[in-house]
């Protein structure tokens, strides 16, 4: 019997052995299309029988978003899109659900590494380390380093208490911070670890540090905007390791310049790799180039997880990590 075709969009760097082992149940191929237009043509020919996709974050440069425009060009044989990443905003899940295609992501594998970066940004912003480092590099020793604050006793408001948010809670509490959170729905006491559940407005009004840890979708785009920032404490700190577009960057720059926001720590940006010049020029902004999951261990775990999802789909018809919007498809 002919094995189902699995197509790799992008590169596998650390789990080549696991990828090759997948050949026991599938015909594995690397997508050679160089552009969205070429991909559409190839889907009519050499990839017309594809059953599953391994999709990397960076492959968007070739294919573009997996949206309503692209979906009709995929053959009806396609059953699974397995994405390498916790965030999957590059995929319009509703479109693929309507087409009967299941989508998976990589929850869990990225939690520790992203929470570590998140905590680094929080500490750096509270202690104003960026200003101190800039002063040192300018040959001024500590002249530009203002008196900062301790994390102990500060209130951390986590916006989006998923796996990364819960891992961040544990780290923040070890520094003496108290943690509250807002989700679409309240977690069980076991899941929240005792963190206080508050409304969105209460989180904004009572947090010393607001951390964005929620997925990007039409409901969360620019959830932190000028109106939301106005509800925050004067001198609040904002940190984002989720997706850049959950924050209106212009509103954030304006708030930094006015002093409403004391410091920010950002690992993601609205139009990355482009960064708002108002952030680049402001010493109150600690900026990282999307390094949340940039560790060998996390990258390897994610690659293995994607391959595991593909294998599960082909052999059982179910994905190990189907995205929450499609939970009903697993029943």
Catalytically active residues are 243, 272, 290
- Find out whether 65 and 15 touch, Cβ atoms under 8 Å: no
Name 196's Cβ contacts closer than 8 Å, sequence gap at least 6: 178, 179, 180, 181
Give the integer Cα–Cα distance in Å for 103 and 251.
Answer: 34
Give the integer Cα–Cα distance in Å for 25 and 9.
Answer: 19
Total Cβ atoms within 10 A of residue 148: 15
Total Cβ atoms within 10 A of residue 301: 20
Give the integer Cα–Cα distance in Å for 242 and 233.
Answer: 22
Of the candidates 68, 80, 151, 163, which has an alpha carbon nearest to the alpha carbon of residue 114? 163
Name 103's Cβ contacts closer than 8 Å, sequence gap at least 6: 80, 81, 82, 83, 88, 91, 93, 96, 97, 319, 322, 323, 326
Start-to-end CA span in the chain (Å): 28
- Find out whether 14 and 299 touch, Cβ atoms under 8 Å: yes
Sign of CA dihedral 158, 163, 167, 170: positive
- Find out whether 92 and 65 touch, Cβ atoms under 8 Å: yes
- Find out whether 80 and 313 touch, Cβ atoms under 8 Å: yes
The label of the residue with tokens 């650390």 reads 14
Degrees (nearest 5) of the Cα angle 114, 116, 122?
105
């Amino acid at each position: 019997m002919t094995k189902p075709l699995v197509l790799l969009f992008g590169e596998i760097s650390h789990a080549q052995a696991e990828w090759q082992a997948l050949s026991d149940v599938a015909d594995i191929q690397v997508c050679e299309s160089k552009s969205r237009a070429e991909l559409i043509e190839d889907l009519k020919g050499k990839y017309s029988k594809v059953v599953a996709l391994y999709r990397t974050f960076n492959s968007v440069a070739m294919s573009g978003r997996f949206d309503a425009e692209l979906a009709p060009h995929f053959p009806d044989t396609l059953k699974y899109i397995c994405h390498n990443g916790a965030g999957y905003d590059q995929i319009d899940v509703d479109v693929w659900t309507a087409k009967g295609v299941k989508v998976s992501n990589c929850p869990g594998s990225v939690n520790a590494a992203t929470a570590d970066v998140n905590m680094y940004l929080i500490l750096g912003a509270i202690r104003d380390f960026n200003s101190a480092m800039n002063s040192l590099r300018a040959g001024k020793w500590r002249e530009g380093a203002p008196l900062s604050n301790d994390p102990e006793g500060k209130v951390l408001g986590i916006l989006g208490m998923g796996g990364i948010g819960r891992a961040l809670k544990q780290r923040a509490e070890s520094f003496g911070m108290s943690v509250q959170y807002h989700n679409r729905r309240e977690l069980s006491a076991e899941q929240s670890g005792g963190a206080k559940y508050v409304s969105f407005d209460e989180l904004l009004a009572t947090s010393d540090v607001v951390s964005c840890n929620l997925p990007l979708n039409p409901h969360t785009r620019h959830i932190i905007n000028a109106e939301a920032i106005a509800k925050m404490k004067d001198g609040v700190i904002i940190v984002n390791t989720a997706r850049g577009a959950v924050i209106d960057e212009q509103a954030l720059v304006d708030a930094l310049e006015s002093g409403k926001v004391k410091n920010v720590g950002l690992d993601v940006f609205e139009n990355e790799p482009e960064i708002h010049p108002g952030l680049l020029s402001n010493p109150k902004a600690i900026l990282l180039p999307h390094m949340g999951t940039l560790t060998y261990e996390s990258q390897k775990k994610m690659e293995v997880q994607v391959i595991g999802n593909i294998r599960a789909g082909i052999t059982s018809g179910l994905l190990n990590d189907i995205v929450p919007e499609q939970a009903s498809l697993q029943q």
